[in-house]
Amino acid sequence: MIKYRELKRRYELDGGEKTISHLSEALAQKQLAPEDFSLRDLAEALVPDGHHWVRSLDPRSSSGVQVLESEAVDATAFLNIAGQLIYAKIMDAFRQEAFVASRLVATIPTRLNGEKIPGIARVSDTVDEIAPGMPYPSLGFGEDYIETPATAKRGFIVPVTREAIFFDRTHLVLSRAAEVGEILGLNKEKRLLDAIVGATNPYKWKGAAYNTYQAATPWINVKTANELIDWTDVDAAEQLFAEMLDPNTGEPVLVRANTVLVMPAYRHAAHRVFNAEEITYTGTGANTATTAANPLGNYRVFESRLAYRRIVASGVAAADAKKWWFLGDFHKAFAYMENWPITVTQSPLGSEADFNNDIVVRFKASERGAAAVLNPRYVVKCTG
């Protein structure tokens, strides 16, 4: 049970920054939950003369025309604590376990609305023997770059009304906050998955746009008729990496696949294939079987219902979509170009919304970014 009087005393002794830091840590470690708090009790404890202020939210507390007080109410402590609770609820929903893609890809902070990421492409890699006294040759370099898509801003506002405080409808406010976090997280997840499964193709290399998955030159990272049944199907996908060459040098792309993404229908099949202790191989026409330790133990296996639905939404038949799976180093292949992470800001007390809509305070959550393909040669798509 929250001791509001003690919370107020700690706020006065330690200051707002330290109190909020301790509260944030307790919420992150699940020692406290936003649902443990009451907006009304917080207001009564943290706003000076809080009982009077909460009662003033009820028009029945005065007779005749109620005149708004000209002296501003110091609700800083209340707003800071309430804001931290709403932020925690938004972030819990934004980072839920179902959002697999958000954990697989890299997040790259950027201040640009679409970025041109330069690289250096070697155009001469011949290493000749240098005779004594002769000068070292210069190594030529050519321009190489990718362009990431323009970013977009998304967000919502969580209002806290007079009724929410007076009637102590804390659960309703937190439910709205969770919905905001889930919607923003789901939207980000879908955009990332669309890039991963190839429903969208934001890869632009040296000024030319390419589909992420290619069945021919300049790279091949699609393996058809390769349903995930046993280790040989993984080996077939890995062979595409063995043939993958850097287009500038002709040298192999140094990729080590470490992650697998499968559809829900193949979740158990994937865990069987990658987590088995041993494998048994019987060659074609062989009379003996060879048993060995499973060489696939270094892979991380993820499954995503959302990925399956995004593939179906792109026009692939459900019976075919459930057999799709992806193998590679997703952290090097994809990224979320982030102008700013999900951020929560609050409006001041006494705003126009308070007079017009009885909204005491509003909390705005927003994030801005875009899904990008950094290098499609680090991932392979397999179909059944």
Q: Which residues of 272-291 are buried (b: 16+ CB within 10 A; e: fewer)?
A: ebbeeeebeeeeeeeeeeee
DSSP secondary structure string for all residues of 241-287: HHH-B-TTT-PBP-----EEEE-GGGHHHHHHHHH-SEEEE--TT-S
Question: Tens of pLDDT along the chain (384 residues)?
Answer: 788 888 888 888 998 889 999 999 999 899 999 999 999 999 999 988 888 888 877 766 554 445 445 445 678 888 889 999 999 999 999 999 899 999 999 999 999 999 988 865 555 455 668 889 888 876 655 678 899 999 999 999 999 998 899 899 999 999 999 999 999 999 999 999 999 999 999 999 999 999 999 998 889 999 999 999 999 999 999 999 999 888 777 788 888 899 999 999 999 999 999 988 888 777 766 567 788 888 887 899 999 999 999 999 999 999 999 999 999 999 999 999 999 999 999 888 777 888 788 898 999 999 999 999 999 999 999 998
Asked if 191 contacts 148 with a C-beta cutoff of 8 angstroms, the reply is no
What does the longest C-alpha to C-alpha distance in the chain come to? 103
- What six digits make up the tokens of 271? 């865990």
Return the pLDDT at 120. Answer: 56
Pairing of strands 334-346, 359-373: antiparallel
Asked if 87 contacts 21 with a C-beta cutoff of 8 angstroms, the reply is no
* Sequence-distant (≥ 6) Cβ neighbours of residue 17 within 8 angstroms: none
Alpha carbon 302 to its chain centroid, in Å, reads 15
* Sequence-distant (≥ 6) Cβ neighbours of residue 329 within 8 angstroms: 255, 256, 257, 258, 259, 378, 379
The half-sphere exposure of 126 on its side-chain side, counting CA atoms within 13 A, is 5
Place of tokens 């060879």: 290
d(CA 47, CA 89): 23
pTM: 0.87
